[in-house]
A = this chain, B = another copy of it.
Amino acid sequence: MATKAQVLYDFTAEPGNNELSVREGETITITNQSIGGGWIEAQNSRGEIGLVPEDYVEVRITDRPKGTLGHKARHYSHTYTQLRCNGNDPWAVFDNNASGGFSNNWAAQPEGTETGKNSSNAWGSTSYGHPQAYQGPGKPTDLSLFLHLHCLAFQIGEVGPVWEYPDSQLDCVVADPKKGSKMYGLKSYIEYQVSPNTTNRPVNHRYKHFDWLYERLLEKFGSAIPIPSLPDKQVTGRFEEEFIKMRMERLQAWMTRMCRHPVVANSEVFQLFLNYKDEKDWKTGKRKAEKDETVGVMIFSTIEPEGLPDLELLEVEQKCEQFSRFTKAMDDGVKDLLTVGHEHWKRCTGPLPKEYQRIGKALQNLSSVFTSSGYEGEATLTDAMTAAGKTYEEIAQMVAEQPKKDLHFLMETNNEYKGLLGCFPDTIGVHKAAIEKVKEADKLVATNKITTTEKVTMGKRASTMSYALQAEMNHFHSNRIYDYNRVMQLYLEQQVKFYETIAEKLRHAHSQFTTM
């Protein structure tokens, strides 16, 4: 019996690439579900057959083989739903509904009782693009598991808690996009070379691998560390040079940011991505990473603020409020700058150079009229006017090309920060939920829902989370200062050059007129 699927999003086929254009709402018949590489082969009602992105369709639930499509959702939403009716799980139960409100079932249990992933849980939904629930962690059976967790180490610096930074900064270069193909040339893709500075040995990755990494990092660290989205997935025109260049630049920026984060950079999954030895190593590593149980709020269980005093709830709350206010304000500021920058970009590449060009043409035109006068001895004037006209045409071109040299980087940096800042409401939400739960602790003790010991543990947990948040904010701030310093310098440097070049060109044009 044929497997039917419902199309969730419009998809336009890349010409000459064996793809099939489909429209949202359309029902298609899956003719080959084991194509792999994120694609399926399908037939539409007109009998046309071609490849369609797996993520773009929803296989009818009755026909869907279990476990094959579940984790393909394009965008994880940071919505945590409680899957087990377990009031005693301290990490799994921040219930952050999609509308942005917080209700939670924070509960406490004595320290040392760790939770693991309940592997029997099914994915909550099969509608891609809608908020996804992901499985809360279950109970571990082996305490030695701790040894395998990456430890989120931090120390107290001048500015308060800071992550522990490595002596040498990890970095990598994303370069050399190459078109590859598989399935006997049926499918084409772009592969990038990623070379970490630790080995200088390039590994190949497709966009979908970056996307896989992003999802792993989000799942694992999302509660504590803002993991910015990757550059947009784009389906049409993805083999065009301009698009590939831009995507590579953004993947580079994303990787650089991830490399800079000591916790992320040091994580097993990130190291796998940069250093896998061969296809087998990569596949084994992938499977292992997908089974990683220290994800979601579990990440906080890997933090041991040894020797540090527990923070008072009031302080935790104030810090959280401060970060919340700051990130909101910066988000507004960044968006404002982006809006202005975008308009300026349009003006600089549209009407403004056209106007300079018209000024240039008008001067040259007048000059050639003058040349036709038949009057002797005005060659100096007409030559000078022609030169001035050409200068304004050159200026037109400079104006049109300048944004790529300066505004582009200011925009890209702000775009990155917009992405980062967009992650904070969820991260902060997790904290706020924890704080609220601690506030309710007295009532919970009174109604025998938790013990006094558990209440103390809850306070400790909140304190630990606050240390982590502070370390993360300090990481954010120091990066922000570095990034804005750098991008503003670059911007202004290029602007200075731009105006100096124009002045120089005009000075030369000026010198060609005779002084009388």
Interface residues in chain A, defined as those with a beta carbon under 8 Å from any beta carbon in chain B = 158-159, 322, 325-326, 329-330, 332-334, 336-337, 340-341, 343-344, 347, 351-352, 355, 358-359, 362-363, 365-366, 369-370, 372-378, 381, 384-385, 388, 473-474, 477-478, 480-482, 484-486, 488-489, 492-493, 495-496, 499-500, 502-503, 506-507, 509-510, 513-516
The answer on a CB contact under 8 Å between A159 and B375 is: yes
Are A381 and B481 in contact, with the CB atoms below 8 A?
Answer: yes
Contacts A336-B365, A337-B366 given; does A515 touch B499 at CB 8 Å: no
| Subset of 29 A-B contacts with CB under 8 Å | A158-B376, A159-B375, A326-B369, A326-B373, A326-B374, A336-B365, A336-B366, A337-B363, A337-B366, A341-B359, A341-B362, A343-B355, A366-B484, A377-B481, A378-B477, A381-B481, A381-B485, A384-B488, A485-B513, A486-B516, A489-B510, A489-B513, A492-B506, A495-B506, A496-B510, A499-B499, A499-B500, A499-B503, A503-B503
4 closest A-B pairs by CB = A492-B510, A499-B503, A375-B477, A333-B366
A326 with B489: in contact, given A355-B340, A363-B337, A496-B503 (CB under 8 Å)? no
In Å, the complex CA distance between A500 and B358 comes to: 23
Instruction: Name the distance in Å between A266's Cβ and chain B's nearest Cβ.
Output: 24
Known: A322-B374, A336-B365, A376-B158. A493 touches B510 (CB 8 A): yes
| A385-B486 Cα distance, complex, nearest whole Å | 12
A sample of 14 more A-B contacts (CB under 8 A), given A344-B359, A500-B503, is: A326-B374, A329-B372, A332-B369, A336-B362, A336-B365, A337-B362, A340-B358, A340-B359, A343-B358, A375-B474, A492-B506, A492-B513, A499-B502, A499-B503
Main secondary structure of the interface of A (DSSP, over half): helix
Distance between A140 CB and nearest chain B CB, rounded to angstroms? 37
Residues on B with beta carbons closer than 8 Å to the beta carbon of A515: 489
Residue contact B333 to A362, C-beta cutoff 8 Å: yes
- Our pick among B159, B359, B365, B496 for the contact of A507 (Cβ within 8 Å) is B496
Separation in Å of the A395 CB from the closest CB of chain B? 9
Q: Please give, as numbers and ranges, the residues of chain B lying within 8 Å of A330 by CB-CB distance.
A: 366, 369-370
In the complex, A334→B365 CA distance in Å?
Answer: 9
Q: Chain B contacts of A329 at CB under 8 A? A: 369, 372
Min Cβ gap A354→B in Å is 10
Q: Give A363 Cβ to nearest chain B Cβ, in Å.
A: 7
Contact A340 B362 (CB under 8 A): yes
Contacts of A159 in B (CB 8 A): 375-377
Complexed CA–CA distance, A159 and B377 (Å): 9
